[in-house]
Amino acid sequence: ERLPGNVLLTEPEWLDMATDLASATGKRAVVLTEPVFGNAVLRARTDPDGVAFLMHTSGTTGLPKQVWVRESALSHRAEVNGELLALRPDSRFATAALFHHVAAIGSIAVALANGAALVMFPAFNVPAWQALEAAAPTHTVLVVSVIEALLRADALALPSLAVIGYGASPIHPDTLRRVLTVLPDVD
């Protein structure tokens, strides 16, 4: 209800949910049947106070809200995290984080800013992770619970992985030791 605008865009498979949400919030649900792309040429922004993207929080610590991510903050994040993850133009970055969450959109922006290719998959599960082997990702950032699930399934190792980052919570030392045992040559 707090979002501006009167239209709620949805993909066909989410129409029932979108219709209910639109009805409850006084908006109109519109189905996107094909991807929508503009025809403008993308140019790098040079205004450090300019908005790079808008994301919405989940409301973990209060009501959900809009967060305007500024070019300067994104630039610093891309520089620091790109260095920490050793992202380069020949890197292939995989993420299954929810795209609207900072873990995904922030990491996607960092990867792109460092020239890395993106290896995207829509939802995490062990078979989907294992299927990534064909795309040969070199880098990923995972939440600790996903690392633990992959370790339990003996599925963490992908031959192409060079760097794994983690976040969202501290990692237990025993979990980290298991990762280092399974992937001794992965940073």
pLDDT tens-digit readout, 161-187? 999 998 778 999 999 999 999 999 999
First to last CA, the chain: 44
What's the mean per-residue pLDDT of the chain? 85
Q: Using DSSP, state whether 93 is helix, strand or coil.
A: strand
What is residue 16's predicted lDDT score, i.e. its pLDDT?
94
pLDDT of residue 90: 94
- Per the CB < 8 A criterion, the answer to whether 108 and 82 are in contact is no
Q: Which of 155, 153, 152 is nearest to 140 (CA)?
A: 155
Alpha-carbon distance of 178 to 38, in angstroms, equals 46
Give pLDDT, residue 147: 94
Which residue did the predictor score with more confidence, 107 or 183? Answer: 183
Bigger pLDDT: 24 vs 38: 24
Band the pLDDT of 47: cuts 50, 70, 90: confident
Q: Say which amino acid occupies 159.
A: P
pLDDT computed for residue 40 by the predictor: 54
* Average pLDDT, integer, range 129-157: 94
Q: Give the burial string for 10-47 (b: 16+ CB within 10 Å, else e).
A: beeeeeeebeeebeeeebebeeeeeeeeeeeeeeeeee
The H or E element that residue 13 is part of is: none
CB 161 within 8 A of CB 184: no
pLDDT tens digit sequence for 75-106 = 888 899 999 999 999 999 998 776 666 667 78
pTM recorded for the entire structure: 0.72
**Count of C-beta atoms within a 10 Å radius of residue 116:** 22
Confidence band of 73 (pLDDT split at 50, 70, 90)? confident
List the Cα angle 139/112/33 in 5-degree steps.
105
pLDDT at 83: 94
